[in-house]
Amino acid sequence: MSAPAIPERLLLGPGPSNVHPRVLAAMGQPLLGHLDPAFLEIVEDVKAGLRRLFGTANDLTLPLSTTGSGGMEACLVNLLEPGDHAVIGVAGVFGERMCEVARRAGANVHRVDAAWGTPLDEAEMAAAIARSAPRVVAFVHAETSTGVCQPVEAIAAATREAGAYLVLDCVTSLGGLPLALDDWGVDAAYAGTQKCLSCPPGLSPASFSARAMERVAARRTPVQSWYLDVSLLAAYYGHQRVYHHTAPISAIYGLAEGLRRVEEEGMAAREKRHREAAGRLLEGLALLGFQPLVDERFRLPQLSAVRLPPKVMEIGEAELRRRLLDRWGIEVGGGLGALAGTLWRIGLMGENARPECVDRLLGAVRDELD
């Protein structure tokens, strides 16, 4: 039986983004065993590269064998015990998901909502933290469902003052924006590989502070997920090298190459490239009647949410996205949740944050609207 032909796409949605050929080539290298010293050397390189990108010296910084949602689950289920209080900022779909994961871990969830397309109100978050004496405070740094970049420092300060643990979702920010977990005072953070790192989905880079690990060690109850229990994972990813589960060898080769590419470019240049690409996109779209959802101060460069002009609504936004895919090989995302049908989400992530990708999309949209 022959395999179906896989079409070439330019992936300009909210993720995954296109994978660099060097990453794919790295993933095609011969398999090693997960305890082979040659593989463990690659694991150590990945851990060191992730520390630099996350802006942390945390010993337990590792690629979890799961997607971003699994990283979210790992951070929350390790730090929360049944009956604990958690303050969670909800400014889009992924804040909502955090609430559900924390609730299933047995936490009393205090949610602080923001209108979608705006950031969380820092004073409201601080008031909720002061009121509920939470074990954990959690929110999303780069909310992919709205295109908002959430400032971290003020909420982190309120968390610290309350003696709580801060969990930060960096799925869409890692590799696109500079991160400073240690300076910010983040205790646990997770990300994804399929966005600004331009690797395939399947791994969740994550980092846990020494303070977070002390909390895990002091738990009264075992972590309800055996697979995501970080004290068990630390036995393999730390120095003991005790088998826990078979590491996804090829995916880790790919991540190592993705991280190498980020370092070759440098994070400052990478951020600049993302900002320039987003500027070019929004300028071009404005001429076609698309308007950004998010105030300029809080806009993510790697994910632009844009309101749609009447012409797009006449054709039907889903129909137009379909034509972009079928006729032009370009994927863009629609709105999620409360924003479904009202906007597009256009990702210029990692390798795709380039003028030629922007111009290809603008040309296709212009042609379809003519």
Name the minimum Å distance from CB 63 to ligand PLP: 13
Residue 14 or 258 having the CB closest to ligand PLP: 14
Over the window 69 to 108, marking each residue x when it contacts ligand PLP by CB under 6 A and - when it does not, the resulting string is x--x---------------------x--------------
Contact flag: residue 144 with ligand PLP (CB under 6 A): yes
| DSSP secondary structure, 260-312, as one string | HHHHHH-HHHHHHHHHHHHHHHHHHHHHTT-EESS-GGGB-SSEEEEEPPHHH
* Nearest residue (CB) to ligand PLP, 172 versus 304: 172
Q: Assign 221 to helix, strand or coil.
A: coil
Please provide residue 210's backbone torsions phi and psi, each rounded to the nearest 5 degrees. Answer: -60, -40
Quick one: 14 or 292, whose CB is closer to ligand PLP? 14
63 scored as a contact of ligand PLP (CB under 6 A): no
Residue closer to ligand PLP (CB basis): 58 or 67: 67
Query: CB neighbours of 97 closer than 8 A, spacing ≥ 6?
Result: 69, 72
Polymer length of the chain: 370
Of positions 56, 67, 207, 352, contacts ligand PLP by CB under 6 A:
67
Find the residue with minimal CB distance to ligand PLP.
Answer: 68
Burial of 272 (0-12, 13-18, 19+ CB in 10 A): middle
**155-184: contacts with ligand PLP (CB under 6 A):** 169, 171-172
Smallest distance, ligand PLP to C-beta of residue 67, A = 3
Closest-CA residue to 98 (of 63, 134, 131, 126): 134
Binding part of the chain for ligand PLP, among 66-74, 155-163, 306-314, 323-331 by CB under 6 A, reads 66-74
CA Rg value for the chain:
21
Q: How many CB atoms lie within 10 A of CB 182?
A: 15
Q: Which residues make up the interface to ligand PLP (CB under 6 A)?
A: 14-15, 67-69, 72, 94, 140, 144, 169, 171-172, 192, 201
